[in-house]
């Protein structure tokens, strides 16, 4: 029985492309469907949330998720990753490096767990997700173009640093093109700059996003409603002023 995006509470953005806004932190998860593959963009804030996302993807695609793109290493975007068993996991270059963001037993996992608990995630759920966190199997330096079958190819681009040192964007070509921005762009509040942000690089990262998608693309923030290129430009200029970055 065919199920629609809307029946599952998802927003359809283009043919075979959709997203949902998750409860709690209003974090976006995206899905791109191909003839033989499916790519999930971000994995939710817990194993249970990741499992719900994977089940929705199975119902929409008719098969499991084959590719998982993590836009940046914050708990609300990555803690559901282990629910996508067997998927190829992509992150920006350096996300799997020494120290650890995704290294078993690494300090990065502990930092993610502590941040999740501080932000209100149940301590047991945070521990389970941190211990099970799926490793990044493909670090994207520059760009790569996974093939999802049936002519569906997506561009994964290392566009940071900015919001973090490891910001990955996902471009889905089409009419319209869709760009999943992670937290480089936020619509529901002012962009958050934590201790791992690189303010001096953030405006340039947004320039790269705009080059990737162009004037007519839909830009999907990590939090909030879908925006256009004008919104991204305005946020770029606001961030440059906020951080004193000359343009």
pLDDT digits (tens, 9 = 90+) for 67-109: 999 999 999 999 999 999 999 999 998 877 534 456 555 568 8
**CA within 13 Å, CB half, 23:** 5
At residue 108, the pLDDT reads 80
pLDDT score, position 246: 82
Q: Are 202 and 242 in contact (CB under 8 A)?
A: no
Helix count and strand count (H, E) for the chain: 6, 14
Distance spanning both ends of the chain, measured CA to CA: 53
Confidence at residue 118, expressed as pLDDT on a 0 to 100 scale: 96
Q: Please tell me the predicted confidence (pLDDT) of residue 247.
A: 67
Among candidates 61, 47, 136, which has minimal Cα distance to 95? 136
pLDDT at 159: 97
**What is the rounded CA–CA span in Å between residue 24 and residue 21?**
9
- pTM here is 0.96
pLDDT (0 to 100) of residue 110: 87
Quick check: 91 and 144 in contact, CB under 8 A? no
Q: For the chain, which ranges sit under pLDDT 50?
A: 98-100
What pLDDT is attached to residue 151? Answer: 94
C-beta separation of 176 from 216 below 8 A:
yes
Predicted local confidence at residue 81, as pLDDT: 95
């Amino acid at each position: 029985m065919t199920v629609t995006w809307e029946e599952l509470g998802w927003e359809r953005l283009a043919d075979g492309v959709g997203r949902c806004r998750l409860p709690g932190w209003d974090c976006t998860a995206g899905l791109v469907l191909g003839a033989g593959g499916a790519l999930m963009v971000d994995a939710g804030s817990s194993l249970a949330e990741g499992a719900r996302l994977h089940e929705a993807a199975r119902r929409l695609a008719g098969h499991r998720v084959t590719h998982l793109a993590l836009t940046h290493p914050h708990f609300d975007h990555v803690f559901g990753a282990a629910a996508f068993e067997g998927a190829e996991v992509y992150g920006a270059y350096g996300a799997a490096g020494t120290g650890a963001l995704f290294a078993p037993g690494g300090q990065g996992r502990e930092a993610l767990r502590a941040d999740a608990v501080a932000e209100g995630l149940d301590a047991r759920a945070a521990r389970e997700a941190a211990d099970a966190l799926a490793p990044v199997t493909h670090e994207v330096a520059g760009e790569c173009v996974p093939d999802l079958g049936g002519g569906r190819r997506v561009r994964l681009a290392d566009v940071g640093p900015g919001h973090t040192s490891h910001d990955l964007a996902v471009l889905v070509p089409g009419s319209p093109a869709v760009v999943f921005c992670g937290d480089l762009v936020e619509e529901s509040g002012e962009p958050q700059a934590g201790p791992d942000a690189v303010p001096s690089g953030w405006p340039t990262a947004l320039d790269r996003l705009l080059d990737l998608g162009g004037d007519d693309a839909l830009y999907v923030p990590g939090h909030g409603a879908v925006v256009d290129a004008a919104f991204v430009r305005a946020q770029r200029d606001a961030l440059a002023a906020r951080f004193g970055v000359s343009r």
